[in-house]
Structure 1
């Protein structure tokens, strides 16, 4: 049976890349959409659109009550605050809680290098600039790990919008940082979706040829 995946954050960036890749890999995709702007391009690809705001728990609970059971939730939400409230923690908390209530077992959260113990990978200047955001992302990670869901947390480095390089890798070395293309993050997320080895794991995601500093590290192999 074809798996149905719920993607939060599919309107742009990594979330959009993930939704498009899942369709190419013959998954059924439901995309959460907060904006009222048209979504014709995604709908033409067969992606189901469900409208709702991740900051509203009841809307997330309703969004996940679909006729066909959802296999997994993938969230990339975050970014600019809405009315002073960031979605990085509160939005993801609502998605996690709604997934638990709906009986969905699998949740993949796209976070950021700098959250949690990976703060060791960033310079003091970068940590000072991003500190408030990273605190919210770490709170979301902790909520997910405590939820009882089967989780995977992926922390990308600096994001680039050019076409993927195919050099994106996962590592559990929390001192490594670098750049990675959004398309390559999407590829790694989809690989984790199909890998038992990725279950209940936390990874950093970087391009092996775009490290900030040249250091030795171990790549995590999903197969």
Structure 2
């Protein structure tokens, strides 16, 4: 159970309209003021019912990103390989720059296994299919690392939209691959948000029961 015994009162979640971002916002809401960055009003009513405050803005347009009053940012934004423009790099870069300008205390970026040194964890076919997206996400990771912000980068394995299993875990080992449910990723991300141990860490997120190969697991406990 999350407790707001942190320097954060207001958390902005970018990507809260669906998926991992929506789950993160839902978990945080009882203990924090949670704002959701939205580029359209499609999910406004659903988020407001959950007690989440929508704010309109497009991460691809820097002028729309005023993060004044935001203590922490969690970004899950991204796109698909076939998209003409993806937010994985440019959108996240804009958010990182806006966070630095606003004096945000912590930035948590959700990317993917296959970025950076975890490229060794994916088979060639997956790398071929996701290569462009992973390259964009990796650029965003590096921009965050270079930003001077306090950060955590979480790289989930293959995502599934089933209920949480409670068997998700984090590791600093970039060689491990597998799958994980979105709800379990969200739980792990929220734990990283409030953990000083997770500061300046790059962590893979996986499910103990959904590993692609038998591996010795060294878990990171945030």
* TM tier, smaller: over 0.9
Contact 2:81 2:132 in 1 (8 A): no
- Runs of 4+ displaced beyond 3 Å: 80-83
Q: Does 1:59 align with 2:53?
A: no
**Distance in 1 between the 2:10 and 2:29 partners?**
10
**Distance in 2 between the 1:84 and 1:165 partners?**
35
- 2:139 maps to 139
Quote the offset at 1:124 in angstroms: 1.1
Quote the offset at 1:83 in angstroms: 6.9
- 1:127 maps to 127
- 2:45 maps to 40
- 2:101 maps to 101
Q: TM-score, normalised by structure 1?
A: 0.93
Contact 1:81 1:87 in 2 (8 A): no
- 1:21 maps to 27
Contact 2:62 2:98 in 1 (8 A): yes
Q: 1:9 and 1:105, CA in 2 relative to 1: closer, same or farther beyond 3 A?
A: same
Relative to structure 2, which stretch is displaced further, 107-116 or 35-44?
35-44
**Superimposed CA distance per residue, residues 65-94 of structure 1 (whole angstroms, 9 cap, x where no aligned partner):** 2xxx22100000002379711100000000
- 2:149 maps to 149
**Superimposed CA distance per residue, residues 77-129 of structure 1 (whole angstroms, 9 cap, x where no aligned partner):** 00237971110000000000000011112000000000000000001111111
- 1:163 maps to 163
Contact 1:117 1:174 in 2 (8 A): yes
Give 5+ residue unaligned stretches, structure 2.
Answer: none
Give 5+ residue unaligned stretches, structure 1.
Answer: none
**Distance in 2 between the 1:84 and 1:194 partners?**
35
- 1:201 maps to 201
Quote the offset at 1:45 in angstroms: 2.3
Q: How does 1:83-102 map to 2 (within 5 A)?
A: 84-102=84-102
Contact 1:159 1:181 in 2 (8 A): yes
**Distance in 2 between the 1:82 and 1:33 partners?**
22
- SS of residue matched to 2:36: strand
- 2:9 maps to 3
Q: TM-score, normalised by structure 2?
A: 0.94
- 2:54 maps to 49
**Distance in 2 between the 1:38 and 1:174 partners?**
35
- SS of residue matched to 1:175: coil
Quote the offset at 1:36 in angstroms: 2.8
Cα RMSD of the aligned pairs, angstroms, is 1.5
* Number of aligned positions between the proteins: 216
